Amino acid sequence: MDNFIQFLKSKMFMVIILVLFGIAVLVGTFSIGMMIGYRKAGFSYTWAENYHRNFGGPRGGLFGGLGGGDLSDGHGVAGLIIKIDPPASLEKSGPTLIIKGQDNVEKIVIVENDTVTRYLRDTVSPNDLKVGNNIVIIGNPDNSGQIMAKFIRVLPSMPMSPMPLAPR
């Protein structure tokens, strides 16, 4: 018993306790990192799986066509650019877009100076938009029924014919 009490007071015991505490901290930190990584990966996966729904696309996905009325018309539109008008005033806004929506109704979209425009992962200028681009717009309605764009996603062109399979 005397040896045990002497061991508890020794430097060796303190070193063992500090090493065990350090290992516990490392394991705890690693576990927290794994948990955070798992949640981020899960969010990224489910967000990508629901990408078409996140931006108001059709239930069948973006490649299922642009039919359907799943988008909240007041706060966004998905469709084809049919006309681009230059800005009314250079200080207030960018171009005005006329979009043929999913329901074949034309929507007027005002591109503001702070509107974020993306093509794939790249940020592009609203001036790069062209008639015929398929786009998804998220914004806020104004009093005249126009959509004030906050975010524009330019969708890649869909191939007209099936893509060939890669050689094995």
In whole angstroms, what is the distance from residue 56 CA to residue 8 CA? Answer: 66
State residue 22's pLDDT score: 97
State residue 127's pLDDT score: 85
**Tokens 């309605």 map to which residue?**
141
Q: Which CATH class is domain 64-155?
A: mainly beta
Mean pLDDT by 10 residues, the chain (168 residues): 84 94 97 90 72 57 49 73 82 82 86 90 89 92 85 82 54
State residue 72's pLDDT score: 45
Residues 6+ apart with CB under 8 A from 18: none
Length of the chain: 168
Write the DSSP symbol of residue 66. S
Q: How many CB atoms lie within 10 A of CB 135?
A: 21
State residue 138's pLDDT score: 92
State residue 66's pLDDT score: 47
DSSP notation for 123-166: E--GGG--TT-EEEEEEEE-TTS-EEEEEEEEEPPPPSSPPPPP
Q: Which two tokens stand for residue 125?
A: 């200028």
State residue 149's pLDDT score: 92
Q: What is the pTM of this model?
A: 0.52
State residue 137's pLDDT score: 93
- Where are the chain's structural domains? 2-47, 64-155
State residue 58's pLDDT score: 55
State residue 68's pLDDT score: 47
State residue 25's pLDDT score: 97
CA dihedral 111, 115, 116, 119 (to 10 degrees): 0
In whole angstroms, what is the distance from residue 31 CA to residue 28 CA? Answer: 5
Nearest to 101, CA basis, from 121, 74, 130: 74
